[in-house]
Structure formats: structure tokens, C-alpha cells
Structure 1
Amino acid sequence: MKYPYAPGINHIEFWVKDLAESTAFYRELFPLIGWHALNDTSFSCGQHEIYFKQMPVAFCDSLGVRHICFHATSREVVDQVGEWLRRQNADIIRGPQEMPRYDASYYTVDFRDPNGFVLEVAHTPKTKL
């Protein structure tokens, strides 16, 4: 039996403190980087899914990933995300900027979502995965 996807991440589940705030943030961010809504709480790029669940703060007793980096298809996409983040008064950690210490073509913006999750959108045309 042949599977439609290559090995990789099937989905990522985020536990969030405010589901409406989180989904509103991602509903605007994701179309900028080529993702689309599957339903009110789930989004996909066609290969992977990210979905959100509201959880009581007292229940969240585990640490998650440091950050998630989304591919950008061009530097312009990174710039568009940076502009959108500024309009949102989002917590921008760095960028948009070049990161030559990683790779001469690495162009990124790093920021926090409404829950404090660290996200990155990077154009990395010369980086081999």
C-alpha cells in the first residue's frame, strides 16, 4: 500500500489558554505562508496539520517544543509576515533579517504568538533538509 505522504510530522497539537484569541491570530498568519483552515481549530499546508485545544492553565504541566519554524517560499513572504506582526503589535523577537551565521541565504522573522509560543518564518533556499 502506498501512502500519500512521506515520513514526517502528521500533526502538532497546541494547548492554549484562549482558543478564540489563538485561532484568530493563526487565521491571519497562516494564509501569509501558504497554510489554510481545515475547520475552526485546525490548519494545514497540505502535508501537515496544526490544531489548537483550549486547556485550563492548571492542567498544563508539561513543557513543549522551543519553537516551530515554517518555510517561507520567498523573502517577500518573510517581509509580509513581519509587516503583519507589526500591525498586530505582536511580540517580535528578531527580524525580518538575514542570519548569515546559519546560512548566507537564511532570512527570518521570529516572534511569539498570543500564548507565548515562539514561532519562526524563514526563507532558506540553500538549506538542505
Structure 2
Amino acid sequence: MIDHLGVQAADVEASLAFYLRIFAPIGMRAAVRFPAGNSVVVGLAAGESGPEFWLSAAGGGETRELHVAFRAPDRSAVHAVHEAAVEAGAEVLHAPREWPEYHPGYYAVFLRDPDGHNVEAVHHGNQVTV
């Protein structure tokens, strides 16, 4: 059910160093890294999997936004989630579209939950192993 988890950090590089050092015994590695504003976003993986745990810069002070992505079976399901969110009056952060910076075929909608967290429905389409 859960596709990946994103955690916002006050200092992405310090958090990355922590996770890579502490979880080296399980094979944790930085699989994807790309710039985001004045910081970076890093996707961590273990073994042969693609990135499942993501680190990005916190948007402000002590409040941290949680990001959770739920796997969708196809693009139609992503659209259905979007439609249900609109009907319920939920805040849509990003309407359904492909996100090629993640990988070709990554198709997702991003929403804000009642507690302010970023939740996503994602279909991977023609997923490329990272």
C-alpha cells in the first residue's frame, strides 16, 4: 500500500550522512539526488529496490511536513483520487501529471491532508530501475 516515505529535514546533508552511516548494515544508499531550491532532495534505497525513503529540506521552523505516497494501479486511479479530492474540497498541491525528474512514467497527484501533510497517489507506468 505505501509506495515511499518523504521526511523533511532541517539539514538534508546532515540527515543524509546520519542515515547512510547508521543504516549501512542494511545496504542503504543514496539512489537519486537532484537540486531543489537552495538544497537537494535525496532518495534512499536498500538492496536492489529503487528509492523508497526521501529526504528534502523543511519548509520552515520546527514544523515538519510528512509526505506519504500510496501506490495506484494505473493512471485512471490517480485521476479518480484527484476527482475525489476536488469533490471533498481538499487542497490540490499538484494536479495529476507525469514527473520525469523522478523517472519516466512516474504519474502522480499531490494533495494536502487535513493535518497539512503532503499525500500522493502514484502510478509508476514504465518504471526504470534506479
Q: TM-score, normalised by structure 2?
A: 0.47
> Which structure carries more strand by proportion?
2
Q: TM-score, normalised by structure 1?
A: 0.47
